[in-house]
Structure 1
Amino acid sequence: MMKKLLASAAVAVTCAAAPQAGAETFSANNFLDAGHPFSVENYTNWAKDVAEATDGEIEFDVFLGGVLLGGRASLTGTADGVAQVAYHAGTYTPSELPITNIISELAFLTDNFYALAAASTIMSFTHPALLEEYEKNGVVFGGGYGTPIYYLICNKPIRTAEDLQGIRSRMPGGIWDRWASAMGAVSVNVPSSEIYTGLDRGTLECGVNPLDSLLSRSYWDVAKYVPMIPLGSYYSGPMWAYDIEFWQDRTPEQRQILLETAGAAFVRSAILYLENTEEAQAVGASEHGMEFIEVDPALMAKHEAFVENDSANLVELAQKQYGVSEELAVDLIDTFKALVAEWEAKLEGVDFKDQETLTKLFVEEVFTVVDPATYGTN
């Protein structure tokens, strides 16, 4: 049975426990629509968890769907105190977050999105270059994330390399832009919230997103074809970016609660993503006429050649496009790859919907690797 998802695309949800004396209500912003797994679990339900765990001392009004801050404005808006915490998609602002974007360029490294989420989150909490980057932008990194694998979702069939020529596809930037160029498609950089309209109006022929969006964003109403080419996981930027003043005004115990509840929320959102994906594929095929296309072997081979060549050139790209030294580029890439390998090993044999095991791992070994008494207080 289809899960009940919040329908409004632009809402403010008040998530609070019983008000306490001296308690203050803060603003939490996620530009994604209310039915998105990251909105449901990482903002709406997470805010309730925080209110309960702090006995109402920290309460959030949760703003969804861009009514407070849009996707590109979420970073600066949080730094300016418009929101005290917000989700920010890092590829939307490569000039402000070049180090973050170098890490994001490794999105095709593995299909294990949990390992990518763990590696990017740990690095963002601990690597000096990433810490400096977030501080420079006026925010404290409060936790990362990762999506299940992206695919093209199209309103016309894509079966061969020729079918991709000239196709206008929404891409989130970075490696996806280069993939589109290598495939002969045209990359269109707009927020994911504009994919539905673009497909509906014909300004887009494809949009890159996880398959869950067929269900959670009703893409199956405007697109009927999914060429099954795995296009990496999206984990760029913070799921929770905190205004520095807000973070520093919290006690160490409150910061610990914010981190622990975020780790648990991420796991719930990932599982919801996976459950929605399974339902989207089953219901999409049976009730919405979706076709999940096994593409021509030559097209898959072209995709695999791109992945190999792009990875080999990443150090040079980091230097030219993001202005970092060769030494830093090598360090970032090697550190990330080592963490991904470590977490692929940790997760070997773990059911991707085993909430108890995954929550323990992510809360204890990812989201609380920092000391809440000192982290973000310099």
Structure 2
Amino acid sequence: MQSISRGLTTLFSALLIFSVTALSVQAKTFLRANSQYSDVQSGSKIMQQWAEDIKTRTDGEVEIKMFFGGALGKAQENLALLQEQAIDIALMSPGYFPAELPFHAAPNSIPMAMSNVNQAYTLMVRLMDELPILDEEAAENGAKTLLFQHLNPYKMVCTEQITSLDQMKGKKFRTWGKDLPRAISAVGGTPVTLFFPDIYEALSSGNVDCIPVSMDLYLNYKFYEVAKHVHDITIWEGPTAGTWITTAAWGRLSPEEQQIVQEVSREAMIKDRDATIQAGKDAIGQLEAQGVQFHDFPQADKDKWRAAIPDFFADFISDMDDRGKGDQARKMIEIWKEVTN
């Protein structure tokens, strides 16, 4: 059944791609990029500009058509679509694919391990520059990593106010990946794995009580309509969607075009960092106008929660030891701690 669904998705993608390719016959290289995010958030605007800058700097020789909102495939299908070359570029959260992309997924998944956007930016730049395993891991999946975008700190948003850690017991909490569920279970919560497009309905129907989310995404996706209580505890912070290009598509670019893409990608990371920080600041007043309530969370309970969670760094190293990649994992965590301490 899954293969049938994927086949239909691929067929739909091919038909949609054909219709836009006809409009782009002037470009020497036409690439299709599928983003899991809608076009309303600040990061999507940055990526649209990224595509336009690449076209301009290559004198129209490389054209990238952006498909937002998963128009060419759902978030959880992006890696398979890349591997099958049904798309050329994917903007996807690696945390959805911890088995295939463990080194990429860790910063996108491990909770309570970063505190601000600048740390996430610095970490990913250093990892891309200093840790060859990222390139190797991407290549194993038929892709090359181009850049990472950012998210503001994910605060705890709930349908009712949570006044203490004890109140977390039994609360259904949206999670992803393999680490965040353990952080929620550590304080008696019930982890519920959900992809981002399913959050609104889950809050509305009562299938989840709480979600971790940044304030700008909370505003853009109108989650405030179904959950109005924000608690001042950062559940997660880190990079969001990475941008990957298939190795086949990368090979179609000339060395000069490859250099331009890499330069524009690094510039986009800086623009995205700054735009993300500003979007988070701008969201607060708009949320207050929508009746959102902001609550302090007791410091003692924050400390208890952090003390209760597993040592995710040690677990990651152990997992990578089992794969024969422990040394690279230790180097990654060493860089991570340098950035955050």
Sort the TM-score into its range (normalised by shorter chain): 0.7 to 0.9
- Residues 105 and 217 (structure 1), Cα distance of their counterparts in 2 relative to 1, 3 Å cut: closer
- Residues 243 and 317 (structure 1), Cα distance of their counterparts in 2 relative to 1, 3 Å cut: closer
| Whole-angstrom CA distance in 1 between matches of 2:100 and 2:295 | 38
More strand by share: 2
Offset at residue 15 of structure 1 (A): 10
1:35 corresponds to which of 33, 40, 46: 40
Q: Which residue of 1 aligns with 2:290?
A: 288
Matched to 1:253, the amino acid is E
Offset at residue 49 of structure 1 (A): 1.6
2:248 matches 1:245: yes
Structure 1: gaps (5+ residues):
1-11, 345-378
| Whole-angstrom CA distance in 1 between matches of 2:258 and 2:195 | 30
Aligned residues of 2:320 and 2:329 also touching (Cα < 8 A): no
Comparing 173-182 and 99-108, the one that deviates more: 99-108
Aligned residues of 1:114 and 1:146 also touching (Cα < 8 A): no
Offset at residue 292 of structure 1 (A): 1.0
Q: Secondary structure at the match of 1:110?
A: coil
Q: Which residue of 2 aligns with 1:49?
A: 53
Aligned residues of 1:150 and 1:233 also touching (Cα < 8 A): yes
| Whole-angstrom CA distance in 2 between matches of 1:211 and 1:256 | 35
| Whole-angstrom CA distance in 2 between matches of 1:138 and 1:276 | 34
| Whole-angstrom CA distance in 2 between matches of 1:178 and 1:154 | 19
1:160 corresponds to which of 164, 167, 178: 164
Q: Which residue of 2 aligns with 1:299?
A: 301
Aligned residues of 2:83 and 2:246 also touching (Cα < 8 A): yes
Q: Which residue of 2 aligns with 1:91?
A: 95
Q: Which residue of 1 aligns with 2:317?
A: 318
Comparing 46-55 and 19-28, the one that deviates more: 19-28
Q: Where do 1:1-378 residues align within 5 Å?
A: 21=26, 23-42=28-47, 44-104=48-108, 108-235=112-239, 239-285=242-288, 287-306=289-308, 310-311=310-311, 314-320=313-319, 323-325=322-324, 326-338=326-338, 340=339
Matched to 1:289, the amino acid is G
Aligned sequence identity (%): 21
Q: Secondary structure at the match of 2:236?
A: coil
| Whole-angstrom CA distance in 2 between matches of 1:226 and 1:322 | 39
| Whole-angstrom CA distance in 2 between matches of 1:134 and 1:317 | 18
Offset at residue 30 of structure 1 (A): 0.3
Comparing 65-74 and 165-174, the one that deviates more: 165-174
| Whole-angstrom CA distance in 1 between matches of 2:331 and 2:192 | 31
- Residues 124 and 70 (structure 1), Cα distance of their counterparts in 2 relative to 1, 3 Å cut: farther
Matched to 1:127, the amino acid is L
Offset at residue 142 of structure 1 (A): 0.9
Aligned residues of 1:161 and 1:298 also touching (Cα < 8 A): no
Q: Residue by residue, what CA displacement relative to the aligned partner does 1:193-215 show, whole Å, maximum 9, x if unpaired?
A: 21111112211111111111122
| Whole-angstrom CA distance in 1 between matches of 2:304 and 2:152 | 22
Matched to 2:307, the amino acid is A
Aligned residues of 2:149 and 2:272 also touching (Cα < 8 A): no
| Whole-angstrom CA distance in 1 between matches of 2:79 and 2:103 | 15
| Whole-angstrom CA distance in 2 between matches of 1:114 and 1:157 | 29
Offset at residue 274 of structure 1 (A): 2.5
Offset at residue 125 of structure 1 (A): 4.8
- Residues 331 and 122 (structure 1), Cα distance of their counterparts in 2 relative to 1, 3 Å cut: closer
TM-score, normalising length from structure 2? 0.85
TM-score, normalising length from structure 1? 0.77
More helix by share: 2
Structure 2: gaps (5+ residues):
1-15
| Whole-angstrom CA distance in 1 between matches of 2:20 and 2:306 | 45
- Residues 252 and 38 (structure 1), Cα distance of their counterparts in 2 relative to 1, 3 Å cut: same
* Count of aligned pairs: 323
| Whole-angstrom CA distance in 2 between matches of 1:100 and 1:215 | 27
Q: Residue by residue, what CA displacement relative to the aligned partner does 1:83-133 show, whole Å, maximum 9, x if unpaired?
A: 211112111111111232344455533323222223224323542322221
Q: What RMSD, in angstroms, separates the aligned Cα atoms of the two structures?
A: 2.7
Aligned residues of 1:147 and 1:234 also touching (Cα < 8 A): yes
| Whole-angstrom CA distance in 2 between matches of 1:215 and 1:104 | 21
Matched to 1:265, the amino acid is A
Matched to 2:322, the amino acid is G
Matched to 2:245, the amino acid is Y
Aligned residues of 1:196 and 1:222 also touching (Cα < 8 A): yes
